[in-house]
């Protein structure tokens, strides 16, 4: 089936099998930041945005993004670098395999939540698993990032 | 891995229904989260996303939740954060993560009638009907126990009463499926106790609810009654024995929360 | 120190956080054949026939292999130095399948759909055999799991395979039985730890191709490239010269990738077809067809006098190695030697063990490697002993603690050259507020807050066996290339080894280039496991850099025409009071004409394995009506010697504690009554999310290890050991029940409370 969609502000017209998952479609097109960590929609590694909404690309048919806008980490490199520096300075990328999906969701959170508390940050990101860091370094990085880039988050937890 | 031969986005619900009934292996696509984990070979996948069923509408006397509404929409819905002490919001917010809830649909969750469903447990404690394309508008309680007929669940209709409600669940870890889920509501003096993940699908503890409606001071008896009138089972998340103990505690906490 | 002991960013950080394609599946060519494996649905069976005709006809299928098509030379997948202690009990494909998930048929085709279709069309007839699923029923069972004639052992490990005994052994010092009789109090309990999954985020991933020399190139996500080279060559029955292994970036390992899991399948497909092939395990396979932590039942007998002087420690460990013996004979030792050594003052010790085969997935390496299991048992027993003595558990520990200078009877007779554990304990006690919070405080009708404690040790490399070599080169323009065979699996070892080089060479980090591992290019290293990289490879870096400086001085003396003994190197130049040459200039001269390109090599191994130490303190809130535990705070205070990179060391501690919390509270590989793994996904096997861990706090109380680079020991594994016993202790302090079987679920707690009423 032929679909037309926008990925990272570039238009793609592709003929694909209808049961192809979005994650495989994106990786096939070379958007290799999108990672697969599980088969049960439980790890958050494959997170991308569809029309700016944060979703699991492992659980979406590629054909269903017809006429839609998809964003992967390749499409927001400036922001990835900006936030990534905070992650790096905590050493909290570690193996880095969960980083793209995690960063996509952090940046989605930044767009969606205004001055989030520590608890609402954890809640928003709870679907992003990481086995290396123990999450604390990620939280330190997020707080510093939010504080540096705009009014920031409330430091006290609710 | 599931396979799919064809993908169609119908323009009307009639067309969707016609497509669904054309072939035994045609299927309505919800959030795909569960469907894609199976190994079935499907013929046509029917995507309802063009039918305007992705909204939560507040009417004079009811709240209508379209089948394509995502769990995340429920979570951030103003109206659902206002009514029933945010019961539905509380029931969905522990489900995996924001991205998952942005994919998972109400139609998929309710139609599948999974035992572990938080949402089903909560909806059951409200005055809820489902609107099926062929089956018409029927009470959720009836729908839950119906055999799986091919039909399209168009929307959920919740009577907008002044019901107070409480959601209680126990999970081994924060984002896991529940070991036990309990939703309780009180409308005037009428109580409803819904228990899910027993691990079988949610049910109303009828006798217990009735007992409490007549004797609201008899919380302990109501808890014991619920445990004795319902079947609890053992699965990987917990034993029947533990679930019975949990049920008593969670019912009591729910009732106390509402009475507070 | 200018570079060492500084929190420097990881060298690869920015490419990781921007999502660059650096992992195995990202760099595999598009034209790779897709390799998948048909797996046994039975826990134990003999294959009677395999019918592949229909599958072969599926368009796009290029290769289908059964046990009749693969070399029949037994090997072990365990990534250990040769000769491996693990038995040679595996074939690539065998006539017998010994657990649900054991490979039966290898299928390769041009795309996933074709391969999936072919897999469905293969018919296998089995003679289903009765399995052994319970490790306590293994020894002397009439069912024998390995009855093959060509079962092979490299040396005596106390094996008796006809009895399903993979390994056994004993250690004794003093007379424990006599000593226990005279003890005022004795604790005698059994503790049960479960199989866990390492659950690194990147699944097992490998691609292979034949190069222009007809050699099979294996690009793989591994902790052990050099062992992979040897093991694959052995399994495929080809010379090692025909195998090259390349390790790109890895998405975590935690020991899972210290075993050859995915490599052989695409390698044999490439050998048979001549075509590139790749195998990317899905998460189900990663759970149910790899290796887990060894399940152990550990019986502790512990005796003390009235004053709380521990007199005797006896440990018996029964370890479940599953269907194959990977790491079975070695993990078990740590459950004794790396636990009771903490109480080195005791006068008698006894440690016996049996490692048994069962028809469950093979166990293997997982961070902590037996010490974690042992720590749960012994530290829990110590806490129970404190109760019996009516003594504060911290006081009991400090009274009996090993000390610097001790000869460690139960730790291979090594002398303890660095230890700051006592201060770790003091610091943790202060931070958690022990004096105010021990044992518990009631918060409400249903909530209790309590604290718990445990201490632990690990090793730093395997003494006398782990070996690392390093090469450092001086390039034109005066920058260096550091070649290592140690494998950065996300931990940052490339960075910390470069930090050590920069410190030695008195230069900036950006003057050091470090590359991933390629067995054709990199010097030999046994691999990144057993907490060896910082300590062993690090020392090798120091040696190599010092050699290079010597060489540079010699060359400079020739150019400057001065005595080399007069020259000094300050990172920028080589000079004496009269003459000087800059590093740039020297480097340029050495690569022109009759120059001398400088490369310094060094190898290192250590006769000792100095233990890092840690004290773990937890505060929990326990719901006494549901048994639910909320972690409030966890304090990890660590003595890993000098922290080469405090920032990365801290993340190691935080990550290890969180893995330990998962193991303590809910992680457990479960099997059905027929031996099928019931939780083979992240939906059913939950690892901690960021909502499950409370606050983790890390402090370092560093000693200085004289045999380590810049005083460093190790950190990777010791950090996972304390959560299980500390949380079990906190549960006891809250509600008075001892949970001796992991995980410490709410269900166990509540039912124990009810039963103890």
3-state secondary structure A23-37: HHHHHHCCCCCCCCC
Name the pLDDT band for A150 (thresholds 50, 70, 90).
Answer: confident
Q: What distance in Å separates the CA atoms of residue A110 and residue C225, rounded to the nearest whole number?
A: 41
Please indicate whether, in this complex, the C-beta atoms of C751 and B236 are within 8 angstroms of each other. no
C9·A91 Cβ contact <8 A:
yes
Q: Which residues of C sit within 8 Å Cβ distance of B?
A: 112-113, 116, 625-626, 628, 665-666, 670, 678-679, 683-684, 686, 688-689, 691-692, 745-747, 750-751, 754
Beta carbons of A59 and B49 less than 8 Å apart: no
Mark yes or no for CB contact C691/A122 under 8 Å: yes
| pLDDT of amino acid A153 | 56
SS (H, E, C) C415-438: ECCCCCHHHHHHHHHHHHCHHHHC
Chain-centre distance for alpha carbon C586: 43
Nearest to C538 by CA among C489, C505, C494: C494
DSSP C61-99: EEEEE-GGGS----B--B--PSSPSS-B-B-SS-SEE-S
Beta carbons of C689 and B175 less than 8 Å apart: yes
Strands ordered across the beta sheet of A10-15: A10-15, A2-7, A69-71, A47-50, A53-56
Best of A91, A128, A145 to mutate (most C CBs within 10 Å, chain C): A91
Contact between residue A61 and residue A21 where contact means Cβ atoms under 8 Å apart: yes
Chain A residues with CB-CB distance to C19 below 8 A:
32-34, 72-74, 80, 99-100, 103
pLDDT tier at A149, thresholds 50, 70, 90:
confident
Long-range contacts of B202-211 (CB under 8 A, 24+ apart): B202/B115, B202/B117, B202/B120, B202/B121, B202/B124, B202/B144, B203/B124, B203/B144, B203/B230, B204/B124, B204/B125, B204/B141, B205/B229, B205/B230, B205/B251, B208/B251
Query: Tokens standing for B171?
Result: 């999970």
* 3 state DSSP class of C615: strand
Shortest CA gap A54–chain B (Å): 5
pLDDT at A157 over 50: no
Q: Map residue C646 onto helix, strand or coil.
A: helix
CB contact under 8 A, C651 and A132: yes
Does residue A158 have a pLDDT over 90?
Answer: no
Q: Judging by DSSP bridges, how do beta strands C205-210 and C185-193 pair with one another?
A: unpaired
Query: What percent of chain C is modeled with pLDDT above 70?
Result: 100
Tell me which H or E stretch contains A4.
strand A2-7
What is the distance, to the nearest Å, from the Cα of residue C155 to the centroid of all Cα atoms in its chain? Answer: 23
Q: In C521-542, which positions are buried (b, 16+ CB within 10 angstroms) versus exposed (e)? A: ebbebbbbbbbbbbbbbbbbbb
Tell me which residue of A40, A65, A38 sits closest to A53, measured CA to CA: A65
Instruction: Record the tokens describing residue C339, joined without a space.
Output: 């636990």
Region C10-21 average pLDDT: 98
Of C17, C201, C282, the CB nearest to A39: C282
Establish if C715 touches chain A: CB-CB under 8 angstroms: no
With 90 as the cut, is the pLDDT of residue C173 above it?
yes
Crossing angle of helices C393-400 and C421-432, in 10° steps, is 170
Question: Is C10 in CB contact (< 8 Å) with chain A?
Answer: yes
Show Cβ contacts of residue C606 under 8 Å, excluding neighbours closer than 6 positions: C460, C461, C463, C464, C466, C535, C536, C539, C707
Report, as an integer, the average pLDDT of C299-320. 98
Residues C274-308 pLDDT 10s = 999 999 999 999 999 999 999 999 999 999 999 99
- φ/ψ of C99, rounded to 5, equals -160, 160
CB contact under 8 A, C670 and B236: yes
- For the segment B50-81, what is each residue's pLDDT rounded down to a tens digit? 999 999 999 999 999 999 999 999 999 999 99
Would an 8 Å CB–CB cutoff place C26 in contact with chain A? Answer: yes
A85 CB within 8 Å of a chain B CB: no
CB contact under 8 A, A105 and B96: no
Give B166-198 pLDDT, tens digit per residue.
Answer: 999 999 999 999 999 999 999 999 999 999 999
Handedness of CA C496, C498, C503, C504 (dihedral sign): positive
Nearest to A43 among C7, C249, C682 (CB): C682
Nearest to C693 among A95, A127, A135 (CB): A135
Beta strands (DSSP E) in C485-579 are: 512-514, 517-518, 568-569, 573-575
Give me chain A's average pLDDT, please: 95
Question: pLDDT, tens digit, for every residue of C31-71?
Answer: 999 999 999 999 999 999 999 999 999 999 999 999 999 99
Span C86-102, average pLDDT: 98
- Residue C672 has φ and ψ, to the nearest 5°, of -75, 175
Query: Is the minimum CB–CB distance between B178 and chain C shorter than 8 Å?
Result: no
ipTM strictly over 0.85? Answer: yes
Q: Is cis: bond before A118, omega within 30 of 0?
A: no
Q: What is the pLDDT of residues A62-93, one digit of tens each?
A: 999 999 999 999 999 999 999 999 999 999 99
Residues in B touching A124 (Cβ below 8 Å)? 98
Q: Whose CA is closest to C216, among C272, C270, C277?
A: C270
Q: How far is C1 from B248, CA to CA, in rounded Å?
A: 62
Hey, CA dihedral for C573, C579, C585, C590, is it positive or negative? negative
User: How would you class C706 by CB atoms within 10 Å of its CB: exposed for 0-12, middle for 13-18, buried for 19 or more?
Assistant: exposed
Task: Tally the C-alpha atoms within 13 A of residue C41's C-alpha that lie toward its C-beta.
Answer: 5
Residue B73 C-alpha, separation from nearest chain A C-alpha, in angstroms: 11
Which residues of A are less than 8 Å from C650 in CB distance?
91, 137
Domain locations in chain B as residue ranges: 3-47, 56-159, 164-259
The CATH T-level fold of domain A76-149 is DNA polymerase; domain 1 (1.10.150)
Instruction: Answer yes or no: are the C-beta atoms of C710 and C726 closer than 8 Å.
Output: no
* Cα of A65 to nearest chain C Cα, Å: 22
Q: How many Cα atoms sit within 13 Å of C683 on the Cβ side?
A: 12
- Contact status, residue C466 vs residue C526, Cβ threshold 8 Å: yes
Over residues C150-172, mean pLDDT: 98
Q: How confident is the model at residue C723 (pLDDT cuts 50, 70, 90)?
A: very high
Residue C176: strand, helix, or coil: helix
**Chain A CB within 8 Å of residue C249 CB:** yes
Q: What is the CATH number of domain A2-74?
A: 3.10.20.30
Q: Are strands C33-39 and C277-280 parallel, antiparallel or unpaired?
A: parallel
- Assess whether pLDDT exceeds 50 at residue A156: no
What domains are defined for chain C?
A: 13-129+204-280 (3.90.1170.50), 295-460+609-756 (3.30.365.10), 468-604 (3.30.365.10)
Which one of B6, B45, B97 has the shortest CB-CB distance to A127?
B97
What does each C-alpha distance from B35 to B49, B65, C685 come to in angstroms? Answer: 17, 22, 20
Average pLDDT, rounded, for chain B: 97
Using CB atoms, list chains with 3+ pairs below 8 Å to chain C. A, B
Say if A41 is an interface residue toward chain B (CB within 8 Å): yes
Q: Which of A1, A21, A128 faces B97 most closely, judged by CB atoms?
A: A128
Q: What is chain C's Cα-based Rg? A: 27
Q: Would the CB atoms of C19 and A80 count as touching at under 8 Å?
A: yes
Spatial strand order of the sheet with B27-29 comes to B3-8, B41-47, B27-29
* Residue (of B123, B147, B124) closest to B135 by Cα position: B147
B chain contacts of residue C116, beta-carbon cutoff 8 Å: 1
When pLDDT is averaged across residues C9-33 and rounded to a whole number, the result is 97
- What residues does each domain of chain A span? 2-74, 76-149
What is the percent of chain A with per-residue pLDDT over 70, rounded to a whole number?
95
Best B2, B44, B99 member to test A by mutation, with max A CBs in 10 Å, is B99
Rounded to the nearest angstrom, the minimum Cα separation between A92 and chain C is 7
Interchain proximity B175–C750, CB inside 8 Å? no
Peptide bond into B238 cis (omega under 30): no
In whole angstroms, give the CA distance from residue B221 to residue C143.
52
- What's the gap in Å between the CA of C59 and the closest CA on chain B? 17
Q: CA A77, CA C18: separation in Å to the nearest integer?
A: 6
Task: Tell me: pLDDT of C481 over 90.
Answer: yes
- % of chain C surpassing 90 pLDDT: 99
User: Which fold does the domain B164-259 belong to in CATH?
Assistant: Enolase-like; domain 1 (3.30.390)
How far apart are the CA of B70 and the nearest CA of chain A, in angstroms?
Answer: 11
Q: What pLDDT, on the 0 to 100 scale, is given for residue C162? A: 98
Selection from C17, B186, C543 nearest residue A141 by Cα: C17
* Backbone dihedral angles phi then psi of residue B167, each to the nearest 5 degrees: -115, 130
CATH topology of domain B56-159: 3.30.465
Contact C689 A129 (CB under 8 A): yes
Whether B102 sits inside 8 A of A55 (CB atoms) is yes
Q: How does DSSP assign C666-678, residue by residue?
A: T----B-TTS-BS
Residues of chain A positioned with their CB less than 8 A from the CB of B174: 126
- Chain A, 97 to 156: residues with Cβ < 8 Å from chain C are 97-100, 103, 122-123, 125-139
- Cβ–Cβ < 8 Å for C544, C601: yes
């Amino acid at each position: 089936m032929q679909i037309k969609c926008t990925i990272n502000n570039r238009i793609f017209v592709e003929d694909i099998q209808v049961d192809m998952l979005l994650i495989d479609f994106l990786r096939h097109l070379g958007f290799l930041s999108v990672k697969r960590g599980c088969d049960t929609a439980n790890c958050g590694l494959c997170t991308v945005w569809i029309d700016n909404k944060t979703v699991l690309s492992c659980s979406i048919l590629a054909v269903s993004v017809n006429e839609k806008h998809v964003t992967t980490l390749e499409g927001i490199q400036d922001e990835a670098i900006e936030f990534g520096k905070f992650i790096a300075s905590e050493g909290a990328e570690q193996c880095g395999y969960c980083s793209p999906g995690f960063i996509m969701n952090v940046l989605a959170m930044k767009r969606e939540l205004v001055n989030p508390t520590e608890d609402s940050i954890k809640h928003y990101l709870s679907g992003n698993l990481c086995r290396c860091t123990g999450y604390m370094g990620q939280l330190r990085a997020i707080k510093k990032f939010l504080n540096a880039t705009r009014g920031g988050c409330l430091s006290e937890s609710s | 891995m599931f396979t799919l031969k064809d993908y169609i986005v119908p323009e009307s619900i009639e067309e969707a229904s016609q497509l669904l009934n054309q072939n035994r292996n045609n299927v309505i696509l919800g959030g795909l989260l569960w469907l894609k984990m199976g190994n079935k070979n499907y013929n046509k996948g029917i995507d309802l996303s063009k039918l305007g069923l992705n909204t939560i509408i507040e009417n004079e006397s009811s709240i209508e939740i379209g089948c394509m509404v995502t769990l995340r929409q429920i979570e951030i819905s103003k109206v659902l954060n206002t009514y029933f002490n945010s019961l539905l919001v509380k029931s969905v917010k522990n489900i995996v993560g924001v991205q998952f809830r942005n994919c998972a649909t109400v139609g998929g969750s309710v139609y599948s009638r999974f035992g572990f469903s938080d949402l089903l447990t909560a909806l059951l404690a409200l005055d809820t009907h489902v609107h099926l394309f062929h089956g018409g508008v029927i009470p959720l309680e009836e729908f839950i126990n119906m055999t799986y007929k091919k039909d399209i669940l168009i929307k959920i209709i919740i009577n907008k009463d002044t019901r107070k409600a409480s959601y209680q669940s126990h999970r081994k870890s924060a984002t896991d499926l529940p070991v036990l889920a309990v939703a309780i509501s009180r409308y005037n003096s009428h109580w409803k106790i819904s228990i899910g993940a027993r691990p079988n699908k949610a049910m109303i503890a009828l006798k217990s609810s009735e007992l409490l409606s007549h004797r609201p001071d008899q919380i302990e008896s109501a808890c014991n009654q619920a445990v004795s009138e319902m079947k609890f089972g053992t699965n990987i998340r917990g034993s029947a024995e533990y679930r019975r103990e949990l049920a008593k505690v969670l019912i009591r906490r729910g009732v106390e929360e509402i009475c507070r | 120190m200018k570079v060492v002991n500084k929190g420097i960013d990881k060298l690869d950080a920015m490419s990781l956080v921007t999502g660059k394609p650096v992992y195995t599946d990202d760099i595999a060519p598009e034209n790779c054949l897709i390799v998948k494996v048909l797996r046994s649905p039975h826990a134990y069976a003999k294959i009677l026939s395999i019918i592949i005709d229909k599958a072969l006809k599926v368009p796009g299928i290029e290769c289908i292999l059964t046990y009749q098509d693969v070399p029949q030379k037994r090997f072990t997948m365990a990534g250990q130095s040769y000769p491996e202690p693990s038995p040679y009990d595996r074939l690539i494909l065998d006539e017998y399948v010994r657990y649900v998930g054991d490979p039966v048929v290898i299928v390769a085709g041009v795309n996933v759909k074709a391969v999936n279709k072919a897999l469905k069309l293969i018919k296998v007839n089995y003679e289903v055999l009765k399995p052994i699923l319970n490790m306590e029923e293994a020894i002397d069972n009439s069912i024998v799991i390995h009855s093959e004639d060509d079962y092979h052992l490299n040396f005596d490990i106390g094996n008796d395979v006809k009895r399903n005994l993979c390994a056994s052994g004993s250690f004794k010092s003093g007379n424990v039985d006599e000593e226990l009789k005279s003890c005022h109090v004795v604790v005698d309990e059994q503790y049960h730890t479960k199989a866990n999954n390492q659950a690194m985020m990147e699944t097992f991933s490998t691609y292979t191709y034949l190069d222009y020399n007809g050699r099979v190139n294996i690009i793989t996500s591994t902790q052990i490239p050099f062992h992979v080279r040897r093991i694959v060559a052995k399994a495929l029955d080809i010379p090692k010269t025909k195998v090259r292994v390349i390790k790109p970036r890895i998405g975590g390992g935690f020991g899972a990738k210290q075993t050859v899991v995915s490599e052989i399948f695409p390698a044999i497909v490439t050998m048979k077809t001549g075509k590139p092939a790749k195998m990317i395990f899905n998460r189900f396979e990663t759970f149910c067809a790899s290796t887990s932590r060894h399940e152990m039942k550990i019986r502790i007998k512990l005796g003390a006098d009235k004053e709380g002087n521990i007199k005797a420690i006896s440990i018996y460990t029964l370890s479940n190695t599953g269907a194959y013996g990977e790491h079975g004979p070695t993990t078990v030792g740590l459950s004794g030697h790396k636990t009771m050594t903490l109480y080195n003052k005791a006068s008698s010790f006894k440690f016996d063990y049996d490692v048994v085969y069962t028809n469950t997935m093979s166990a293997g390496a997982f961070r902590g490697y037996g010490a974690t299991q042992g720590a749960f048992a012994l530290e829990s027993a110590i806490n129970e002993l404190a109760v019996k003595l009516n003594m504060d558990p911290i006081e009991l520990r400090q009274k009996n603690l090993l000390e610097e200078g001790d000869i460690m009877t139960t730790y291979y007779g090594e002398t303890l050259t660095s230890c700051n554990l006592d201060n770790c304990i003091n610091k943790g006690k202060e931070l958690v507020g022990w004096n105010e919070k021990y044992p518990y405080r009631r918060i409400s009708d249903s909530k209790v807050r309590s604290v718990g404690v445990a201490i632990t040790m690990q090793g730093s490399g395997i003494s006398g066996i782990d070996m690392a070599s390093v090469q450092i080169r001086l390039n034109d323009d005066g920058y260096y290339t550091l070649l290592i065979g140690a494998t950065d699996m996300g931990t940052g070892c490339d960075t910390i080894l470069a930090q050590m080089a920069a410190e030695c060479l008195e230069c900036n980090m950006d003057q050091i280039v470090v590359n991933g591992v390629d067995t054709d290019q990199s010097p030999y290293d046994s691999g990144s496991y057993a907490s060896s990289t910082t300590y062993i490879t690090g020392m090798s870096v120091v040696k190599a850099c010092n050699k290079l400086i010597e060489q540079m001085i010699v060359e400079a003396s020739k150019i400057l025409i001065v005595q080399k003994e007069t020259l000094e190197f300050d990172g920028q130049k080589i000079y004496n009071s009269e003459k000087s040459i800059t590093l740039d200039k020297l480097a340029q001269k050495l690569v022109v004409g009759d120059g001398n390109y400088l490369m310094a090599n060094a190898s290192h191994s250590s006769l000792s394995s100095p233990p890092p130490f840690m004290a773990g303190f937890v505060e929990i809130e326990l719901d006494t009506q549901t048994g639910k535990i909320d972690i409030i705070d966890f304090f990890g205070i660590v003595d890993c010697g000098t922290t080469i990179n405090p920032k990365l060391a801290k993340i190691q501690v935080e990550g290890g504690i969180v893995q330990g919390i998962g193991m303590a509270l809910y992680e457990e590989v479960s099997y059905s009554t027929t031996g099928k793994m019931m939780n083979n996904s992240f939906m059913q096997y939950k690892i901690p999310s960021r909502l499950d861990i409370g606050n983790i706090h890390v402090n370092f109380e560093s000693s200085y290890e004289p045999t380590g680079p810049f005083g460093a020991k190790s950190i990777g594994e010791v950090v996972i050991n304390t959560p299980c016993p500390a949380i079990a202790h906190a549960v006891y302090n809250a509600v008075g029940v001892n949970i001796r079987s992991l995980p410490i679920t709410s269900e166990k707690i509540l039912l124990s409370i009810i039963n103890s009423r």
